[in-house]
């Protein structure tokens, strides 16, 4: 049997050997079951429920971002080599007239055909590309190799396989056609910083050079260019998907490189646990400043053939359908840069076209003031909103420079200037809720709002807009926490109760934008990936770990291991509290939480095991400070730079399942070591004085305790 059909998709088995030479194992059976029994609209919920990297990788709609941005003629004829489970195939089928796909695996091709069975323009050839290639036509407009070129040795299997692979593909490209390659950078910064090589799962194997028997081989930028030139392909254009090509959210190019401070999504690694050997954001900032980003980008997307007008894309498709958009920067016919915002769904058109109304409202509000509004036009033929490209420096970057120079007077001056400008006609019933510092471009005395996507017909007080701008600013980078906004909050008359209300509004807004969907951060947490920082580096500048950093150890019968310890993404908030959700298997005997890297007071505000509240007296359920002292039923003190709290899971009061959740909320205050020493020494008393220990604690540590506890419990009421 050469041909069969699944829905409208044709599968050709002429060159199938009868054996799948490439497989992810049993999970492919799960994937086939999912695509058979569920609609594409349900894939997002399944990804959230399963907590599995292969299911996320194969079913996430964000996989298709890597090709969705490409402006393709609807009459195009496309070849996709290595189509796998069809994450890219379906997107190509919506953009082109005809899609011819090839893959080694019958099972993967069945998954592909099943999930995309509504398309009647897809044919999938199953077998080795080397065998399929002679039967393919020679008039393709596009040939796509997404995560495939690195396997050239396996596809071709001769000397110089990568050059021969490209030359073979070139025979099937019409004049003026393009080959599109997406591949990891062998020298991507994340691999230096502690991510394992994607295909081998070993550290630094790409950086150090692959062995001759490696199943895959990635390349540096110059390495790829050398291959292209050997094939006589001198018309090439490099793009840089970020954080990588698999789940891309940003796409830069040689004509539009990242700006200082722009690359912030570095720590999360979905396929494996990782180490963190240095702060990638700060390293990228220096590479960007020195013009070296291209060599250390994590991934490449290369267009072989004529280039595109698009020089940058940003995806916002981790939202509900009504708000999914793509933002491009393109070169117009006159040579000017323009910004275009495209709806990614039919439901998002109203949101995009409504930006013109937002522009009109803000123009009227700030007429005569000191804020410019970037102009907006709607092009219904192209289906997008178009904005001018504004030159300047983001206000957020100017504030960062002040922090880097420890020039807080200039920082405060910029904040005051921001407040003065946004207060103009404050009572006017139009407000930009997202008036954050990164959305304001500063060019000398001219300040321009460049993005006003979330503008509403109501009045939002300037002090609330400033609060949100500072909240978002400090949330994006921990070095920004050096700025303490409490003084300006007091000056504005924002009480802690006011801030709590604003936080609730912010959480509600985020849910409004994302709906019931989990963010990629939440999905990453569900995958249970570990972020490991060697403890020798934790307190150093290289490790970029502050005193209030948290570290978690899991003892599964072999003691604690630094290599397996976890630095959770959750961090202390402005109230010095943190809520930890620790995934624990039935093998785990003890969980150890190091709440800080400095002397501190710690209160266990709440602790649950699989949703059940632990005893009011936490000492009854195997919780104890290893190198500290209890000062009340739920609070402890440490006078060491390495405080440890252990949770004994072998207590007969705990019902242990195969998979468990230990949820702990901590309230932690860092204190000077001499104060901690004094409090602890006061606890070493006789039996009579032991009965009066609470009074002694109050006498010595009363000011510290009252200040921190009053602040917290007032917020909780």
- pLDDT in the model for residue 268: 81
- Quick check: 646 pLDDT over 80? yes
Q: Which residue has the tokens 């009421």?
A: 717
More confident position, 463 or 155? 463
| pLDDT-derived band at 536, boundaries 50, 70, 90 | low
For 58-64, what is the mean pLDDT?
95
User: Percentage of the chain surpassing pLDDT 70?
Assistant: 92
Are 701 and 675 in contact by the 8 Å Cβ rule? The answer is: yes
Structural domains present in the chain: 317-516 (1.10.510), 530-671 (no CATH)
The 10s digit of each residue's pLDDT in 426-482 is 999 999 999 999 999 999 999 999 999 999 999 999 999 999 999 999 877 767 877
Nearest to 471 by CA among 447, 497, 507, 444: 507
Report CA-CA distances (Å) from 75 to 92, 94, 99.
12, 11, 11
pLDDT digits (tens, 9 = 90+) for 96-150: 999 999 999 999 999 999 999 999 999 999 999 999 999 999 999 999 999 999 9
Q: What is the pLDDT of residue 694?
A: 46
Instruction: For residue range 498-514, list pLDDT tens digits in order.
Output: 988 998 898 889 889 98
Confidence of residue 538 (pLDDT cuts 50, 70, 90): low
- Residue 673's SS3 state is helix
CB 607 within 8 A of CB 614: yes
Strand (E) or helix (H) holding 600: strand 600-609
Residue 285 has pLDDT above 80, yes or no: yes
The SS3 assignment for 638 reads strand
Compute the mean pLDDT over every residue in the chain, rounded to the nearest whole number: 88
Give the count of alpha carbons within 13 A of 268, CB side only: 23
pLDDT in tens, 476-533: 776 787 778 888 999 999 998 898 899 889 888 988 998 877 878 778 877 877 788 7
pTM of this prediction exceeds 0.85: no
Q: What is the mean pLDDT of residues 563-587?
A: 83
Beta carbons of 555 and 589 less than 8 angstroms apart: yes
Over the stretch 16-42, which tens digit does the pLDDT of each residue have? 988 887 777 788 999 999 999 999 999
Alpha helices in 251-323 (DSSP H): 280-289, 293-296
Q: How many residues does the chain have?
A: 717
User: Could you tell me which residue, 215 or 394, shows the higher pLDDT?
Assistant: 394
């Amino acid at each position: 049997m050469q041909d069969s059909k699944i829905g409208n998709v044709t599968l050709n088995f002429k060159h199938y050997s009868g054996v799948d030479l490439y497989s992810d194992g049993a999970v492919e059976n799960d994937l086939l079951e999912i695509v058979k029994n569920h609609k594409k609209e349900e894939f997002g919920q399944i990804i959230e429920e399963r907590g599995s990297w292969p299911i996320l990788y194969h079913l996430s709609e964000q996989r298709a971002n890597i090709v969705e941005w490409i402006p393709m003629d609807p009459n195009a004829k496309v070849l996709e080599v290595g189509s796998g489970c069809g994450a890219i195939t379906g997107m190509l089928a919506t953009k082109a007239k005809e899609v011819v796909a090839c893959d080694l695996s019958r099972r993967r091709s069945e998954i592909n055909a099943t999930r995309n069975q509504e398309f009647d323009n897809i044919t999938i050839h199953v077998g080795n590309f080397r065998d399929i290639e002679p039967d393919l036509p020679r008039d393709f407009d596009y040939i796509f190799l997404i995560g495939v070129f690195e396997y050239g040795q396996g596809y071709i299997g001769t000397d110089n396989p990568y050059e021969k692979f490209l030359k073979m593909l070139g025979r099937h490209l019409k004049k003026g056609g393009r080959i599109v390659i997406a591949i990891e950078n062998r020298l991507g910064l994340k691999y230096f910083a502690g991510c394992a090589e994607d295909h081998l799962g070993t550290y630094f194997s790409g950086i150090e050079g692959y062995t001759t028997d490696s199943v895959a081989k990635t390349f540096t930028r110059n390495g790829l260019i050398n291959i292209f030139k050997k094939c006589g392909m001198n018309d090439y254009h490099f793009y840089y998907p970020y954080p990588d090509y698999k789940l891309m959210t940003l796409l830069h190019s040689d004509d539009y490189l990242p700006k200082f401070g722009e690359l912030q999504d570095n720590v999360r690694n979905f396929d494996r646990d990782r180490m963190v050997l240095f702060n990638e954001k700060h390293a990228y900032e220096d590479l960007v400043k020195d013009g070296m980003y291209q060599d250390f980008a994590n991934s490449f997307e290369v267009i072989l053939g004529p280039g595109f007008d698009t020089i940058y894309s940003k995806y916002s498709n981790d939202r509900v359908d009504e708000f999914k958009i793509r933002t491009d920067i393109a070169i117009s016919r006159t040579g000017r840069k323009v910004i275009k915002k495209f709806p990614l769904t039919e439901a998002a058109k109203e949101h995009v076209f409504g930006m013109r109304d937002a522009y009109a409202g803000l123009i009227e509000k700030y007429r005569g003031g000191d804020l410019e509004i970037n102009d907006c036009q709607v092009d219904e033929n192209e289906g997008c909103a178009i904005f001018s490209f504004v030159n300047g420096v983001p206000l957020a970057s100017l504030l960062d420079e002040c922090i880097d120079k420890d020039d807080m007077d200039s920082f405060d001056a910029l904040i005051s200037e921001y407040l003065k400008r946004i207060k103009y006609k404050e009572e006017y019933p139009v407000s930009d809720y997202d008036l954050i510092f990164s959305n304001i471009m500063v060019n000398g005395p001219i300040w321009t709002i460049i993005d006003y996507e979330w503008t509403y017909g109501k009045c939002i007080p300037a002090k609330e807009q400033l609060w949100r701008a500072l909240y978002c600013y400090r949330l994006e980078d921990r070095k920004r926490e050096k700025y303490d906004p409490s003084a300006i909050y007091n000056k504005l008359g924002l009480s802690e109760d006011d801030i709590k209300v604003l936080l609730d509004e912010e959480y509600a807004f985020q849910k409004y934008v994302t709906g019931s969907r989990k963010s990629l951060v939440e999905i990453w947490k569900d995958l249970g990936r570990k972020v490991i920082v060697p403890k020798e580096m934790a307190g150093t500048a290289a490790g970029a770990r502050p005193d209030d950093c948290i570290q978690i150890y899991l003892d599964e019968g072999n003691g604690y291991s630094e290599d397996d310890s976890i630095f959770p993404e959750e961090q202390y908030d402005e109230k010095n509290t943190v809520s930890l959700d620790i995934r624990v298997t039935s093998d785990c005997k003890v969980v150890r939480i190091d709440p800080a890297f400095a002397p501190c007071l710690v209160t266990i505000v709440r602790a649950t095991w699989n949703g059940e509240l632990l005893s009011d007296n936490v000492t009854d359920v195997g919780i104890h400070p290893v190198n500290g002292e209890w000062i009340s039923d739920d609070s402890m003190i440490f006078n060491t730079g390495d405080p440890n709290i252990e949770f004994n899971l072998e207590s007969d009061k705990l019902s242990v399942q195969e998979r468990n959740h230990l949820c702990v909320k901590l309230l932690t205050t860092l204190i000077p070591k001499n104060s901690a020493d004094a409090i602890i020494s006061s606890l070493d008393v006789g039996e009579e004085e032991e009965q009066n220990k609470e009074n002694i604690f109050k006498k010595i540590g009363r000011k510290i305790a009252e200040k921190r506890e009053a602040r917290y419990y007032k917020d909780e009421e």
